[in-house]
Amino acid sequence: MKPVDSQPSHILPAGMELPHNYIIDKILGEGGFGITYSGTLLPTGERVAIKEYFPNGLAHREQTAEREFLVIPSYGMEEAFEKGRRHFLNEASILKEFQNLNSIVSVKDVIEANGTVYLVMEYIDGITLKQYVKENGALSFQELLPLIKPVIQALVQVHRQGLIHRDISPENLMVGIDNQLHLIDFGAASIENGHDNKTLTVILKSGYAPPEQYLSDGKQGAWTDIYALCATMYMTLTGFAPPESIRRIQQDELPALAEHADITSWQAAAIEKGMNLTAADRFQNMESLYQALIIPPIEMNSKRRSYQNALEEKKTVMKNDVNTKKKRNPLYLGILLVFLFVVIFAGTALFNANIDLSNSTVSSVHCTMIDVSEASTSIAKKIWKKLDNRIHTILLNIDNETEPSTEDNAKSNTTERKSTAKEVSSKKSSSSDNKTTTSEKATESKSNFTVEELVDEYDTFIID
């Protein structure tokens, strides 16, 4: 949007009041679709920017006796005027959607009056990027990067909503007094690939518009804004605008960026890629452009290889994990069957033996049976205490009586228990005289250990 030095007749006069208590202060600039003024909100004194829909070539202004400045469509241009008016209102809805982004100017109010529409927007106190470079000279890439980064981040969000700006240029980027860039003028914005075979209005700025924007039916998308943003960075870094893309098609004489700017060769190559005349050969999204601007190609390739290797390693681990699970399933099933068999066998043996549980203590079934028939009550309790809170089976062949006083009494009790166990075994299977009793098996399982050793070595018998 170009600034206006003198005030032509179609410009609104200072002091004119608009609905909703807004006062026109002065003109800020004029573009193809409208005129932008600075204004004031009367109750608060807040400064605002007011953009009036006044399409160049499609309308003229008429002043009435009531000092109204009406905008009238030119003869035969009524349909085009109304179409542009709807598009202008669309800009308001777009700006409202992105009011949370600091790098995009926010809209505060929409006014319909004087036969046209006014957008009341946030006022950016500053100058355009074009003016800034003209007054301060070209920037180095290290100076430009922190300025342009928030704009790239904002455009990522805009593009994710399927919108493209279509008019990025040094004139539409304001450098505020906060030393931040603010993207303005969404009047040319459109829905990406949303024209459905209908022609898009040709909107472009010389030097910043890619070739597809010169065609009314050119396929436009995020890559269109990427060309314009890279061309804007090119101008900011060199101090001069790049040649028109339509001329570059005939003969590409774009001066090498690395030879005219304070920038590394690989960063210059990234910007020049963004200005490729063929849309498919540019970056296809803002994220890729930003990565190429901050990550050297060698490091980028290394990161990609590391990422790919990590993916392959993850696939291998997952594959091995699946195979391991498949191998473990039969083992788990076998252990479960053995456990069930032991439980059933032990339960049957106890039932047939008619063991009086009131006179003896029996714990749960365990794959290791420890015979403590020769142990005293205190020793057996000590073993039990060490095995407390664990899931296992231990057969305590002791009576709830006092501790035997003599070795003979202990041997006598042991002989009686063994005799009883043999009788039980004989009743259970009269056809097999070679089978051992449960007590004998238990004794065999601990044949290499004394009762006292079991107290210290019990962990060897435990299966967690």
Whether residue 1 lies inside any domain: the answer is no
112 and 165 co-located in one domain = no
243 and 281 co-located in one domain = yes
- Give CA–CA dist 116/18, Å, rounded: 12
| Type of residue found at 119 | L
111 and 144 co-located in one domain = no
192 and 262 co-located in one domain = yes
According to the model, what pLDDT value does residue 332 have? Answer: 55
130 and 117 co-located in one domain = no
- Output the DSSP codes for 181-212: EEE---TT-EETT-STTPPPP----TTTS-GG
- Give CA–CA dist 419/317, Å, rounded: 58
According to the model, what pLDDT value does residue 403 have? Answer: 43
Domain termination residue (choose one: 66, 95, 122) = 122
N- to C-terminal Cα separation, the chain: 78
CB atoms within 10 A of CB 100: 9
- Give CA–CA dist 140/54, Å, rounded: 38
109 and 198 co-located in one domain = no
- Give CA–CA dist 357/362, Å, rounded: 7
According to the model, what pLDDT value does residue 239 have? Answer: 96
Of 213, 193, 192, residue with least CA distance to 201: 213
Whether residue 331 lies inside any domain: the answer is no
According to the model, what pLDDT value does residue 372 have? Answer: 55
Domain termination residue (choose one: 294, 312, 337) = 294
How many CA atoms lie less than 13 Å away from 98 in the CB half-sphere? Answer: 27
| Type of residue found at 252 | D
| Total domains, the chain | 3
Domain at 41, CATH number = 3.30.200.20
What residue has token string 């929409």? 110
| Predicted TM-score (pTM) of this structure | 0.61
Domain termination residue (choose one: 122, 138, 165) = 122
As given in the structure block, the two tokens for residue 53 are 């829909």
Report the sign of the C-alpha dihedral through residues 199, 202, 207, 209, in that order: negative
68 and 203 co-located in one domain = no
According to the model, what pLDDT value does residue 102 have? Answer: 86
- Give CA–CA dist 366/377, Å, rounded: 21
What residue has token string 């099933």? 333
List per-residue pLDDT tens for the chain, 464 residues long: 555 545 567 899 999 999 999 999 999 888 777 899 999 999 899 999 999 999 888 899 988 777 678 999 999 999 999 988 988 888 788 888 888 888 998 889 999 999 999 999 999 999 999 999 999 999 999 999 999 999 999 999 999 988 899 899 999 999 999 899 999 888 777 665 444 434 445 567 889 999 999 987 789 999 999 999 999 999 999 999 999 999 999 999 999 999 999 999 999 999 999 999 999 999 999 999 999 999 998 887 776 677 667 767 766 555 555 555 555 555 555 666 666 666 566 665 555 554 444 444 444 444 455 555 555 666 666 665 655 544 444 444 434 444 444 444 444 444 444 444 444 444 444 444 444 444 444 444 433 444 444 444 433 333 33
Give yes or no for a contact between 269 and 295, defined as CB atoms under 8 angstroms apart.
no
180 and 197 co-located in one domain = yes
Domain at 184, CATH number = 1.10.510.10
CA 34 to centroid of chain Cα atoms? 39
Domain around 131: 126-294
Q: Which helix (H) or strand (E) holds 454?
A: helix 451-457
Whether residue 330 lies inside any domain: the answer is no
- Output the DSSP codes for 393-416: --EEEEESSPPPSSHHHHHHHHHH
Whether residue 450 lies inside any domain: the answer is yes
CA 459 to centroid of chain Cα atoms? 50
36 and 166 co-located in one domain = no
According to the model, what pLDDT value does residue 458 have? Answer: 39
Whether residue 7 lies inside any domain: the answer is no
134 and 264 co-located in one domain = yes
Whether residue 314 lies inside any domain: the answer is no
How far CA 301 is from CA of 262, 267, 292, 307, 308, in Å, comes to 25, 15, 11, 10, 10
Whether residue 344 lies inside any domain: the answer is no
274 and 151 co-located in one domain = yes
Q: How many helices (H) and strands (E) does the chain have?
A: 12, 15
Q: What angle do CA 196, 199, 204 make, to 5 degrees?
A: 125
According to the model, what pLDDT value does residue 63 have? Answer: 82
Whether residue 343 lies inside any domain: the answer is no
Q: Give the DSSP letter of residue 172.
A: G
Q: Identify the three-state secondary structure at position 97.
A: helix
153 and 217 co-located in one domain = yes
According to the model, what pLDDT value does residue 8 have? Answer: 60
Task: Kindly tell me the burial class for residue 463, based on how many C-beta atoms sit within 10 Å of its own C-beta (0-12, 13-18, 19 or more).
Answer: exposed
